[in-house]
Amino acid sequence: MTNFVRKNPSKSPLALALTLTLSTSLLVGCGGEQKQGTNSSASSGSSSASGDGLKLGALLPVTGDLSSIGQNMPEAVKLAIDEVNACGGVNDQPVILVTEDSQTDPSAGASAMTKLAEVDKVAGVVGAFASSVSSAAVTIATKNNVMLVSPGSTSPVFTEQAKNGDFKGYWARTAPPDTYQAQALAALASKKGFQKVGTVVINNDYGVGFEREFVSAFEKEGGKITDKDKPVRYDPKAATLDSEAAASFANQPDAVAAVLYAETGTVLLQAAYKQGLTEGVTVLLTDGVYSEDFVKQVGRTPDGKSILTGALGTVPGADGEALAGFTTKWKDKTGKDVTAFVPHSWDATVLLMLAAEAADANTGEGIQSKIREVANAPGVEVTDPCEAMDLVRNGEEINYQGASGNVDIDENGDVIGSYDVWTVKDDGTTEVIDKVSPTGAAAE
Residue 43 has pLDDT above 50, yes or no: no
pLDDT confidence tier of residue 261, bands split at 50, 70 and 90: very high
Closest CA to 354 of 123, 21, 75: 123
Q: What is the DSSP letter of 287?
A: G
Which of 89-93, 127-131, 418-422 has the weakest average pLDDT? 418-422
Beta bridge partners of 124: 56, 147
pLDDT at 72 over 90: yes
Res 11 pLDDT > 80? no
pLDDT for the residue numbered 443 = 40
d(CA 242, CA 244): 6
Which amino acid, residue 32? G
Is the pLDDT at 41 greater than 90? The verdict is: no
pLDDT (0 to 100) of residue 37: 53
Cβ contact 70:129 at 8 Å: yes
pLDDT tops 80 at residue 39: no
pLDDT of residue 439: 57
CA distances to 105, 111, 191 from 101, rounded to whole Å, are: 9, 10, 39
- Counting residues of the chain whose pLDDT is more than 70, the rounded percentage is 87
Per-residue model confidence (pLDDT) at position 351: 98
Quote the pLDDT of residue 21.
Answer: 36
pLDDT at 23: 38
| Averaged pLDDT of the chain | 89
Other Cβ atoms less than 10 A from the Cβ of 141: the count is 29
Q: What share of the chain is helix, strand, coil (3-state, %, to 5)?
A: 40, 20, 40
In one-letter notation, the amino acid at residue 418 is S
pLDDT average, residue stretch 273-298 = 96
Instruction: Give the model's pLDDT for residue 12.
Output: 37
Tell me if the pTM is above 0.85.
no
Alpha helix (H) residue ranges in 176-277 = 178-191, 205-220, 242-248, 262-274
For the chain, list the domains and their CATH numbers.
13-175+341-400 (3.40.50.2300), 179-317+418-443 (3.40.50.2300)
- As a dihedral over the C-alpha atoms of residue 254, residue 257, residue 263, residue 266, rounded to 10 degrees, the angle is 0
Give the pLDDT mean for 301-305: 97
- As to burial, measured by CB atoms within 10 angstroms (0-12 exposed, 13-18 middle, 19+ buried), residue 390 is buried
Residues 143-148, mean pLDDT to the nearest whole number: 98
